[in-house]
């Protein structure tokens, strides 16, 4: 995939640089859908060769799309799934085939070579304004057409104007595709989590999914004791939304059985969404004895959801937090959700590249300033390196002081190295709890999750 990766890297990448000021306008930086239509037209309009379900919104799109794609796959349909960002490889964004795996590199490379001349011509005609995301999305649609998928499930990311209300957004997206919009009211969702159990070394939640939707379609389903590997009430709601979408498809003439809904929901597992590492994986990271939880939460809402998930799985956790974030996030709001939501033994602020570059990376020092401000606004008792007693306790060897047990304040520290931050967090937990470790949560971005998993791969 070297040739394709280099080609995409030569284009504007807003994941790396951040959303431009012209986004949502008619400017070249406004994600003008007409530009995308022209590109797809030159490719023979591959998007017209399969049916599609689009998921729009602020959070949960990728998880919900994955749930629905697995439901349809369990029913036997040829399904394409397009989501972003990826964790390990760009191929994760395009999922095809019966097993629901990332597109094979040979398949993707072959398609790229076949359409490269058209892409070159389009980029020239559009004066270089086509972005990394637009070109890769067009490649995904062309691949779905090539692989004869019957239906594609697509996470909506960029395109069209910015609008304040979800109904307006849905109508705007759908009108651009001449598609019906299906609304589902939350009042008919009586789904609930019953408990937590362990399957193959990882926790899962047992849920009852009870839906009754009235409107253009009258839909209902009752699924008891569904085992979800995707944890948290927010993931239960995503599963319920995907189930509702499946029922809407059934109401439109698609075959979707309750057995397929259950199988698809239970089969869904995504990297970086409440992902618990196995013991041998933690040991590989020099975190022996620790429970390591990876989650790409990066907003106030997702931070709150993660806190609730942690408290559900661990009623009284010994918890250390390792955080790295992009520069365009609400760092203080994110921090307050954790500081007010649960007891923390230690917080380590670190940094990672965002989409392969550092232009959107928040420095560990800046992140630490935000967490200190948040802790002061909440009157949260922390021990950080602006305090004389911090140096007295730790000096240059953070986590090694014999007096660690005597100070119960939350340690707040920063550093450039993600690996060092995780190791020191584990050391502090062991020091404070007589040799026993606890739970180390790595969060703030899917990019920090990617960095941890790449360390495992290497």
User: 79 vs 90, 151, 230, 261, 297, CA distance in Å?
Assistant: 18, 5, 21, 15, 27
242-256 in b/e form (b: 16+ CB < 10 A) is bbbbbbbbbeeebeb
Domain boundary at 267, 287, 322, which?
267
198, 211 Cβ separation under 8 angstroms: no
State the pairing for strand pair 319-323/275-276. unpaired
Flag whether pLDDT at 9 surpasses 70: yes
149, 81 Cβ separation under 8 angstroms: no
Flag whether pLDDT at 57 surpasses 50: yes
In a shared domain, residues 279 and 428: yes
Label residue 379 by pLDDT band (50, 70, 90). very high
In a shared domain, residues 262 and 280: no
Residue 431: the pLDDT is 85
Average pLDDT for residues 315-326, to the nearest whole number? Answer: 93
Residue 394: the pLDDT is 59
Q: Which residues contact 444 (CB under 8 A, 6 or more apart)?
A: 297, 298, 323, 324, 325, 329, 334
Mean pLDDT check: name the lowest of 33-47, 205-219, 230-244, 270-284. 205-219
Percent of the chain scored above 90 by pLDDT? 69
The larger pLDDT score, comparing residue 277 to residue 213, is at 277
Average pLDDT for residues 252-280, to the nearest whole number? Answer: 96
Residue 41: the pLDDT is 98
Average pLDDT for residues 193-208, to the nearest whole number? Answer: 92
In a shared domain, residues 153 and 240: no
How many helices and strands in the chain, by DSSP H and E? Answer: 16, 15
| Predicted structure pTM score | 0.89
Please report whether residue 174 resides in a domain: no
In a shared domain, residues 117 and 216: no
Average pLDDT for residues 178-205, to the nearest whole number? Answer: 76
Domain boundary at 267, 283, 312, which?
267
The larger pLDDT score, comparing residue 381 to residue 330, is at 330
Q: How far apart are CA 299 and CA 331, in angstroms?
A: 8
Q: Is residue 226 classed as helix, strand or coil in its secondary structure?
A: strand
Per DSSP, the residues of 241-276 read: HHHHHHHHHHHTT----HHHHHHHHHH---TTSSEE
In a shared domain, residues 280 and 332: yes
The larger pLDDT score, comparing residue 100 to residue 403, is at 100
Residue 186: the pLDDT is 57
Please report whether residue 173 resides in a domain: no
User: 115 vs 69, 122, 139, 144, 222, CA distance in Å?
Assistant: 27, 11, 9, 14, 46
Residue 432: the pLDDT is 84
Q: Report pLDDT digits (tens) over 297-306.
A: 999 999 999 9
pLDDT, averaged across the chain? 88
Which CATH number does the domain housing residue 343 bear?
A: 3.90.190.20
Tally of structural domains, the chain: 3
Residue 439: the pLDDT is 96
Average pLDDT for residues 19-38, to the nearest whole number? Answer: 72
Which CATH number does the domain housing residue 46 bear?
A: 3.40.1190.10
Flag whether pLDDT at 389 surpasses 70: no
In a shared domain, residues 412 and 375: yes
User: Closest Cα partner for 8 from 136, 97, 138?
Assistant: 136
Residue 208's domain comprises 186-267
Mean pLDDT check: name the lowest of 235-239, 330-334, 354-358, 437-441. 354-358
The larger pLDDT score, comparing residue 33 to residue 17, is at 33
User: Closest Cα partner for 77 from 239, 253, 240, 230?
Assistant: 253
Peptide bond into 85 cis (omega under 30): yes
Mean pLDDT check: name the lowest of 83-87, 116-120, 151-155, 165-169. 165-169
Phi, psi torsion values for 213, nearest 5 degrees: -115, 130
| Helical (H) or strand (E) element with 118 | helix 105-125
Residue 163: the pLDDT is 55
Residue 185: the pLDDT is 45
Please report whether residue 421 resides in a domain: yes
């Amino acid at each position: 995939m070297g040739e394709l990766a280099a080609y995409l890297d030569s284009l504007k990448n807003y994941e790396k640089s951040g959303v431009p000021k012209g986004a949502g306008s008619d400017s070249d930086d406004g994600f003008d859908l007409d530009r995308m239509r022209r590109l797809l037209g030159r490719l023979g309009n591959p998007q017209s060769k399969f049916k599609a379900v689009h998921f729009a919104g602020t959070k949960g799109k990728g998880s919900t799309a994955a749930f629905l794609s697995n439901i349809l796959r369990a029913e036997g349909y040829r399904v394409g799934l397009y989501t972003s960002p990826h964790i390990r490889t760009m191929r994760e964004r395009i999922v095809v085939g019966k097993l629901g795996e990332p597109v094979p590199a040979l398949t993707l490379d072959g398609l790229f070579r076949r359409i490269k001349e058209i892409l070159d011509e389009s980029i020239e005609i559009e004066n270089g304004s086509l972005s990394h995301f637009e070109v890769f999305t067009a490649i995904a649609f062309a691949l779905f057409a090539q692989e004869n998928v019957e239906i594609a499930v697509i996470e909506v990311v960029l395109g069209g104007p910015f609008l304040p209300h979800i109904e307006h957004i849905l109508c705007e997206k759908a009108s651009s595709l001449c598609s019906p919009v299906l609304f589902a009211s939350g009042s008919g969702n009586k789904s609930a989590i019953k408990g937590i159990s362990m399957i193959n070394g990882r926790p899962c939640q047992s849920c009852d999914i009870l839906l009754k939707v009235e409107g253009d379609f009258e839909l209902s389903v009752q699924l008891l004791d569904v085992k979800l590997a995707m944890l948290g009430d927010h993931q239960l709601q995503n599963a319920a939304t995907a189930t509702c979408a499946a029922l809407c498809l059934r109401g439109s003439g698609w075959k979707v059985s309750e057995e397929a809904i259950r199988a698809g929901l239970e089969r869904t597992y995504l990297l970086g969404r409440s992902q618990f590492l196995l013991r041998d994986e933690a040991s590989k990271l020099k975190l022996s004895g620790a429970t390591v939880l990876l989650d790409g939460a990066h907003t106030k809402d997702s931070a709150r959801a993660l806190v609730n998930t942690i408290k559900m799985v661990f009623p009284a956790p010994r918890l250390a937090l390792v955080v790295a974030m992009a520069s365009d996030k609400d760092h203080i709001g994110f921090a307050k959700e954790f500081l007010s939501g649960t007891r923390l033994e230690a917080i380590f602020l670190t940094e990672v590249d965002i989409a392969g570059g550092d232009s959107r990376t928040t420095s560990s020092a800046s992140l630490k300033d935000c967490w200190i401000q948040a802790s002061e606004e909440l009157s949260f008792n922390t021990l950080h390196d602006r305090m004389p007693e911090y140096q007295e306790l730790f000096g240059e060897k953070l986590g090694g002081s014999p007096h660690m047990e005597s100070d119960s304040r939350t340690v707040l520290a920063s550093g450039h190295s993600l690996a060092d931050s995780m190791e020191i967090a584990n050391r502090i937990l062991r020091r404070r709890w007589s040799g026993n470790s606890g739970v180390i949560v790595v969060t703030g971005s899917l990019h920090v999750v990617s960095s941890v998993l790449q360390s495992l791969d290497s």
